[in-house]
Amino acid sequence: MKKGIHPESYRLVVFKDMTNEYTFLTRSTAATKETIVWEDGNEYPLVKVEISNTSHPFYTGKSMFVDTAGRIDKFKKRYEKKK
């Protein structure tokens, strides 16, 4: 492993699967503005993800419909240049 290429600022972060509301606590450098109170009573940064190992068809063995309606519109609205 190369030295000096990995970040030093790891912290505890909660990841939340928005498909099935599954949450897990791990160390990460992911930037976020939201926080959540975890089971231990402490407040941690929150990263929302659309899919995780608990909802991905490869891991679950089931096909699952993920609602993606409006994603393109949301993207265009978010990155639309101001006139």
pLDDT at 39: 92
Q: CA angle, corner 13, sides to 28 and 17, nearest 5? A: 105
pTM of the model: 0.62
Q: Are 4 and 20 in contact (CB under 8 A)?
A: no
The answer to whether 29 and 47 are in contact (CB under 8 A) is: no
Question: What is the pLDDT of the chain when averaged over all its residues?
Answer: 79
* Stretch 19-36: mean pLDDT: 89
Q: What share of the chain is helix, strand, coil (3-state, %, to 5)?
A: 15, 30, 55
